[in-house]
Chains A and B, each alone.
Chain A
Amino acid sequence: MLDVATDPGADQGRITGETLLDLRNITLRFGGVEAIKNISFDIREGEIRAIIGPNGAGKSSMLNVISGFYVPQEGEVWFNGSRRPPMKPYEVARQGIARTFQNIALFQGMTVLDNVMTGRLNAMNAGTMSQALWFGKARREEVENREKVERVIDILEIQHIRKVPVGRLPYGLKKRVELARALAAEPHLLLLDEPMAGMNVEEKEDMSRFILDVNDELGTTIALIEHDMGVVMDLSDRVVVMDYGRKIGDGSPDEVRNNQEVIDAYLGVSHD
């Protein structure tokens, strides 16, 4: 008799590692508008952390702060135990943070393989000459990086479209390719901006499985913004809830679900 079934509740509130990213009292202003108001939260090593909130709550701005695209006027970003000075997005990327975009940002005319290979750019530093002649170091590097890319292709099950130009793919697959490119950079922290927007149920199920696989197999820490509550509650270990630039909730999916302020923000209350 076999008894190897997993405990279905094991994922909820599992113990994750040390703090990987710590956001302390972040405030971000655009002119007179305060997009983010004095928010603090942390992301732990190995967890899936969701950021949710109604439209205009400041979620994407938050992600852009993490990725270095916006520099907050106040507050500190601590990554890997040290305070991060203001830096350019490409410097942040080198530190091991990768992201996908709400609107697909792939090179439409290039093949899937080439698109995913661009995720390895930071790991290639052979000279222009050697790359042009595909000789020596450039060649070695390409082989090494291709191997890493192939592992990502294998995990995301996109072998069959390896050589297909991205422009010819359906939406759901493009999203998957974008995830592949972000993963190819072997990030410590992966930022996903609405990975399931516009997908049908089956595509969402697939994407959820891939996100879990990535988190599980590669140990990648993931921060994601998502509107589909079912997905968020199923996937994430902890959830931050934002509304009008403020943090109104933070905790496990169950805690957030039962938080009155969160319920009000989503269902709306009369402001009398």
Chain B
Amino acid sequence: MTETGVSIPALLAQNASRLATRHAYREKEFGIWQSWTWAEVAREVEDLALGLIDMGLVPGEHVVISGRNRPRLYMAMVAAQMAGAIPVPLYQDAAVEEIAYQLEHSGAVFAVVGDQEQVDKLIEASGEGAALRRIIYLDPRGLRKYDHTQLLSYAEAQEAGRMAADRLTIELKARLAALEPDSTCVMLYTSGTTGRPKGVVLSNRNVIETARASSEFDNLTTEEEVVAYLPMAWVGDFIFSIGQAYWTGFCVNCPESPDTLTQDLREIGPTYYFAPPRVFEGLLTSVLIRMEDAGRVKRWLFRTFMDHARKVGPALLDDKPIGFTDKLKYRLGHLLIYGPLKNTMGFSHIRVGYTAGEAIGPEIFDFYRGLGINLKQLYGQTEATVFITQQPDHEVRSDTVGVPSPGVELRMSDTGEVFYRSPGTFQCYYRNPDSTAETKDAEGWVATGDAGFIEPETGHLRIIDRAKDVGKLATGGLFAPKYVENKLKFFPNILEAVVFGAGRNRCMAFLNIDLTAVGNWAERNNVAYGSYQELSQNPQVLAMMREHVAAVNRDVARDEMLSGCQIHRFLVLHKQLDADDGELTRTQKVRRKVIGDKFEDLLGALYDGSEEVYTETEVTYEDGRKGQIKATLKIQDAELFTPNSNTRTAAE
């Protein structure tokens, strides 16, 4: 690490002189892309940092940041760091109780937020005795009538900083100089598939070393354009939009609003792009649905050239030799289909694209690779400052997560759990030494909680499942629920699947239909429905689900080790699993245990052989009110297959 690059604010100072007139941020506002150069960013950050010091921020205190991705909120994080404090970004859609816990746990004294909604939530969450002293907001709309003794606008805070500049600049310089590679850079709350969220403390060294290594891995330059749209509280966004952006000096673009994201993506045309598999799946589903509505000629063109793309595209990306006619046909396809399609999706300029978080369906992966988009997978977690493994160019496959990232060491435990040690390894869980000791041993090895193995021939890591989820069936067979769930979710009609079976003799599943895909199918086939619940229990939909489950069972049966994981019986849930109801994490991962407990009656009915089950479920609406939905769910038997052959055994 160079002398000047010891902290994010130090990198900012470097960029402000090195790249003074280049754009650091853009945000679409009032229909126009507004931009900030690095020099302007440095000025704005300094003003805010001075303002924070003026209001009494002390080094080591925590500053909460919450709102949608906006340049000034990113700048607020750096301003907090500059003043010696620690930024703590929160999920903007978190419920009040979650925020209350994080406020209490972090002891945050200041908050910088986007708008009235966030202000309201923070006021509600900061109960009697909370440490929170001031809330600074960006958008004043609706806040005029609020009592402003502890509330002020971002512009006012910056103005206060400018006024105090003469007095406090020396203090600010001193605080900046006191930042070391080992001082805390940021604290991020992990979504936690179980229990309370934990505050992961990352040092400047963690963030900057990781940003440097990963930028070099993919040759990221100042020319990159990224679109910041994933939650600011997620470690990935922190690394992409702050770590790598400040290290390489590329430009971060913020959309106008969540609703305009697709248009904004198209206008920016990012060169470096990250999205969870969900986004790629959703996009593919919407493309396929629109193609169904297209004329016959267009449909034929699309099918013909997409088949060709799947055959040739990945090979082209990997620089493998292909025939002349194939190459020519691919060129033609690019002109007619691939180019325009990529353009509508905003993917025309992507040089490096990543997906992670969940397994991605091979068909989905091949679709995008076929189009010539260099989509790769990486494997990481908050505790590793994102990167554990990633796929180098030309070594991309849908079933592995790549080779260890630069500087990362991997080790497998006897039980098959993956351990790593890297420069990005987190410092500790904030105020939680027990959990820290459980996760990270004295030599710095961190347990990922995932079971996997390294392919001997390629050196790539393959992840099977969460280590604690991999269990045994009562019959002694291996139980890997995620493995089966992922196969189910690869069907566009299935949005979510939850498989149960640990310690039992058979596996059962809950399914969620994908309303977009199934709704479109219903429209096309004149199937009338009044609600999500009604559609989910439609006999034709259930038949469709039976086919999908049978297909998965056939696939699972091929692997002798996992053949016990075939789904014996399943039901389609009457409500969509939702983070607001605690069934998913904020990063949209299934919480199997919570769901199992909540729908105990349904699970019981699956195992006791009932034909249908009546249930009442409490749901939480977005505004926090509660309601009840009642439903009678029909339980479906699935077709089963004997291992290693395609002959059927009778369903029970």
Enumerate chain A interface residues (CB-CB to B < 8 A): 1-6, 10, 146-147, 150-151, 153-155, 157, 159-160, 162, 212-213, 216-217
Kindly provide the distance from the CB of A207 to the nearest chain B CB, expressed in whole angstroms: 15
Question: Are A150 and B30 interface neighbours, CB within 8 A?
Answer: yes
Q: Is the CB of B146 closer than 8 A to any CB of chain A? A: yes
Given contacts A154-B30, A217-B141, A160 and B263 within 8 Å (CB-CB): yes
CA gap between A162 and B123 in the complex, in Å: 34
Q: Which residues of B contact A150 (CB under 8 A)?
A: 30-32
Question: Are A162 and B146 interface neighbours, CB within 8 A?
Answer: no
Q: Which residues of A contact B149 (CB under 8 A)?
A: 3-4
CB-defined A-B contacts under 8 Å, sample of 9: A1-B130, A2-B123, A2-B135, A4-B150, A6-B146, A153-B31, A154-B30, A159-B257, A159-B259
Question: Are B141 and A4 interface neighbours, CB within 8 A?
Answer: no
CA gap between A160 and B263 in the complex, in Å: 8
Kindly provide the distance from the CB of A210 to the nearest chain B CB, expressed in whole angstroms: 11
Q: Mark B140-155 against chain A: 1 for CB-CB distance below 8 A, else 0.
A: 0110111111110000
Question: Are B260 and A160 interface neighbours, CB within 8 A?
Answer: yes
The residue among A150, A154, A155, A159 with the most chain B CB atoms within 10 A of its own CB is: A159
Q: Is the CB of B44 closer than 8 A to any CB of chain A? A: no
Q: Which residues of A contact B141 (CB under 8 A)?
A: 155, 213, 217
Q: Which residues of A contact B150 (CB under 8 A)?
A: 2-4
CA gap between A49 and B270 in the complex, in Å: 49
What 5 pairs between A and B have smallest CB-CB spacing? A160-B259, A150-B30, A4-B147, A160-B260, A2-B126
Q: Which residues of A contact B146 (CB under 8 A)?
A: 4, 6
CA gap between A10 and B145 in the complex, in Å: 9
CA gap between A159 and B130 in the complex, in Å: 37
Tally the A-B contacts, defined by beta carbons under 8 Å: 61
Kindly provide the distance from the CB of B123 to the nearest chain A CB, expressed in whole angstroms: 6
Enumerate chain B interface residues (CB-CB to A < 8 A): 29-32, 122-123, 126, 128-130, 132-133, 135, 141-142, 144-151, 256-257, 259-260, 263
Kindly provide the distance from the CB of B399 to the nearest chain A CB, expressed in whole angstroms: 37
Chain A contact residues: helix, strand, loop or mixed: helix
Q: Which residues of A contact B133 (CB under 8 A)?
A: 2
Kindly provide the distance from the CB of B127 to the nearest chain A CB, expressed in whole angstroms: 8
Q: Looking at the complex, which one of B30, B145, B257 makes contact with A6 (CB distance below 8 Å)?
A: B145
Chain B contact residues: helix, strand, loop or mixed: loop
Question: Are A159 and B123 interface neighbours, CB within 8 A?
Answer: no
Q: Looking at the complex, which one of A3, A159, A217 makes contact with B147 (CB distance below 8 Å)?
A: A3
Kindly provide the distance from the CB of A184 to the nearest chain B CB, expressed in whole angstroms: 13
Given contacts A157-B257, A217-B141, A1 and B263 within 8 Å (CB-CB): no
Question: Are B147 and A216 interface neighbours, CB within 8 A?
Answer: no
Question: Are B31 and A5 interface neighbours, CB within 8 A?
Answer: no
Given contacts A150-B30, A150-B31, A5 and B123 within 8 Å (CB-CB): yes
CA gap between A238 and B329 in the complex, in Å: 71
Chain A residue, CB-CB nearest to B148 = A4
Kindly provide the distance from the CB of B136 to the nearest chain A CB, expressed in whole angstroms: 13
Chain A residue, CB-CB nearest to B111 = A2
CA gap between A249 and B517 in the complex, in Å: 54
Question: Are A216 and B145 interface neighbours, CB within 8 A?
Answer: yes
Question: Are A1 and B260 interface neighbours, CB within 8 A?
Answer: no
Kindly provide the distance from the CB of B103 to the nearest chain A CB, expressed in whole angstroms: 10
CA gap between A146 and B135 in the complex, in Å: 33
Chain B residue, CB-CB nearest to A217 = B141
Question: Are A147 and B30 interface neighbours, CB within 8 A?
Answer: yes
Q: Which residues of A contact B126 (CB under 8 A)?
A: 1-2
CA gap between A217 and B259 in the complex, in Å: 23
CA gap between A47 and B65 in the complex, in Å: 36
Kindly provide the distance from the CB of B104 to the nearest chain A CB, expressed in whole angstroms: 12
Chain B residue, CB-CB nearest to A4 = B147
Q: Which residues of B contact A159 (CB under 8 A)?
A: 31, 256-257, 259-260
Chain A residue, CB-CB nearest to B147 = A4
Kindly provide the distance from the CB of B61 to the nearest chain A CB, expressed in whole angstroms: 16
Q: Looking at the complex, which one of A3, A5, A147, A160 makes contact with B257 (CB distance below 8 Å)?
A: A160
Question: Are B123 and A4 interface neighbours, CB within 8 A?
Answer: yes
Chain A residue, CB-CB nearest to B142 = A213
Q: Which residues of B contact A154 (CB under 8 A)?
A: 29-30
The residue among A10, A160, A162 with the most chain B CB atoms within 10 A of its own CB is: A160
CA gap between A269 and B579 in the complex, in Å: 52
Kindly provide the distance from the CB of B621 to the nearest chain A CB, expressed in whole angstroms: 10
CA gap between A216 and B146 in the complex, in Å: 12
Question: Are B130 and A2 interface neighbours, CB within 8 A?
Answer: yes
Chain B residue, CB-CB nearest to A209 = B142
Kindly provide the distance from the CB of A161 to the nearest chain B CB, expressed in whole angstroms: 8
Question: Are B144 and A216 interface neighbours, CB within 8 A?
Answer: yes
The residue among B30, B126, B144 with the most chain A CB atoms within 10 A of its own CB is: B30
Q: Which residues of B contact A216 (CB under 8 A)?
A: 142, 144-145
Question: Are A2 and B132 interface neighbours, CB within 8 A?
Answer: yes
Kindly provide the distance from the CB of B52 to the nearest chain A CB, expressed in whole angstroms: 17
CA gap between A162 and B257 in the complex, in Å: 12
The residue among A2, A3, A151, A154 with the most chain B CB atoms within 10 A of its own CB is: A2
